[in-house]
Amino acid sequence: MTLRVGIVGGSGYTGGELLRLLIAHPNAEVTQITSREGAGQYVYTRHPHLRGASKLTFVHPDALEACDLLFLALPHGVAAREIDRYAALAPAIIDLSADFRLDDLAAYQRWYGEAHPAPAWLDRFVYGLPEVRRDQLRGAHYASGVGCNATAVNLAILPLARAGLIERVSAALSVGSSEGGNQPNDGSHHPIRSGAVRTYKPANHRHTAEINMISGVRVDFSVTAIEMVRGVHVVAHVYLGQPVTEKELWKLYRGAYRDEPFIRLVSASTGLHRYPEPRIVAGTNYCDVGFAVDEDDPQHVVVIAALDNLMKGAAGSAVQCLNLMHGFDERAGLTFTGIYP
């Protein structure tokens, strides 16, 4: 079985990542990819690494045709306002925006500052993180995207949250410039961005709602932009209701993630790469997770996680959802292991 797939909003970074992954997918063929500004141009004019890999040209969104599945890689708010049109074109949709992530209308209004544009659709979408919604994604017709920052935090703390051990979490995130998308702005101007360590969201990040929804615990976190293109790096200080040992942590995390194809535990006592690093997972669908127990306070655990915001935090998880929704091998199209150094 080969799915005919369309990508709406294909000129951005996540659109390019989707195309890169699906070109090599054994069960999917991208038949159309849209861009208003790029209509009529070859996709490699916007995604130069795909020169020779695809002969597709961008089509205008108004020329979109029916297919088996649509990926929506659109700015916030657009998918929700046009969801009826897209649903008429494809029986399955994976939306990479924040439009259908939250399962509560009041939470959406609080965090996004407006009433949801398509409230009747909200409960039709399955939250698109396979590690927490795998069973619901199998056979589903609609899946939401995931927030890259929320995903990194959730995967870092989820085993502790599920065990009911967490009393409080404080996390610091360092992120790359690709989180800002491919449209330049004052903050992305090279003389301003280069060498920067800019904390742009010290509190009340929108992804807080997503973390609360999935982990069930309150997490305070800050986000700082650093000189890195791809990646999210989390250092989470987790305060527990009881002391733990490192051996108990290993048992807990291994039990939670031993069967997860894209979670790797990285916590070593020696060597250069003892804990997760964004550079190691760049271009891959992996999330690396590590941890350490505070020797002076065994109720204080530091959990470290790293993922590629464009991959496990966006396009990679979306393709993983496609695989689950259609009964394919969950790893299909996602086996790239990264490069080193």
**Going residue by residue through the chain (341 aa), what tens digit of pLDDT does each one get?**
899 999 999 999 999 999 999 999 999 999 999 999 999 999 999 999 999 999 999 999 999 999 999 999 999 999 999 999 999 999 999 999 999 999 999 999 999 999 999 999 999 999 999 999 999 999 999 999 999 999 999 999 999 999 999 999 999 999 999 998 988 888 888 898 889 899 988 999 999 999 999 999 989 999 999 999 999 999 999 999 999 999 999 999 999 999 999 999 999 989 999 999 999 999 999 999 999 999 999 999 999 999 999 999 999 999 999 999 999 999 999 999 999 99
Compute the chain's Rg from CA coordinates. 20
Residues 214 and 259: their CA atoms lie apart, in Å, by: 19
| Burial readout 229-250 (b: 16 or more C-beta within 10 A, e: otherwise) | ebbbbbbbebebeeebeeeebe
Residues 80 and 145: their CA atoms lie apart, in Å, by: 13
Contacts of 129 (CB under 8 A, 6+ apart): 146, 151, 154, 214, 317
**SS3 annotation, the chain:** CCEEEEEECCCCHHHHHHHHHHHCCCCEEEEEEECCCCCCCEHHHCCHHHCCCCCCECECHHHCCCCCEEEECCCCCHHHHCHHHHHHHCCEEEECCCCCCCCCHHHHHHHHCCCCCCHHHHHHCECCCHHHHHHHHCCCCEEECCCHHHHHHHHHHHHHHHCCCEEEEEEEEEECHHHHCCCCCHHHCHHHHCCCCEEEECCCCCHHHHHHHHHCCCEEEEEEECCCCCCEEEEEEEEECCCCCHHHHHHHHHHHHCCCCCEEECCCCCCCCCCCCHHHHCCCCCEEEEEEECCCCCCEEEEEEEECCCHHHHHHHHHHHHHHHCCCCCCCCCCCCCCCC
pLDDT for position 188: 86
CA neighbor of 233 nearest in space, from 178, 295, 171, 291: 171
Cβ(19)–Cβ(49) under 8 Å? no
Active site residue 287: no
pLDDT for position 183: 87
Q: Which of 67, 148, 287, 321 is catalytic?
A: 148
Cβ(73)–Cβ(10) under 8 Å? yes
CA neighbor of 312 nearest in space, from 100, 147, 161: 147
Task: Report the predicted TM-score, pTM, of the whole model to 2 decimal places.
Answer: 0.97
Cis peptide before 341 (omega within 30 of 0): yes
Q: Domains in the chain, please, with CATH?
A: 3-125 (3.40.50.720), 148-309 (3.30.360.10)
Which is it for the CA torsion 262, 319, 133, 181, positive or negative?
positive
Structure tokens at 130: 């396979």
Residues 229 and 60: their CA atoms lie apart, in Å, by: 29
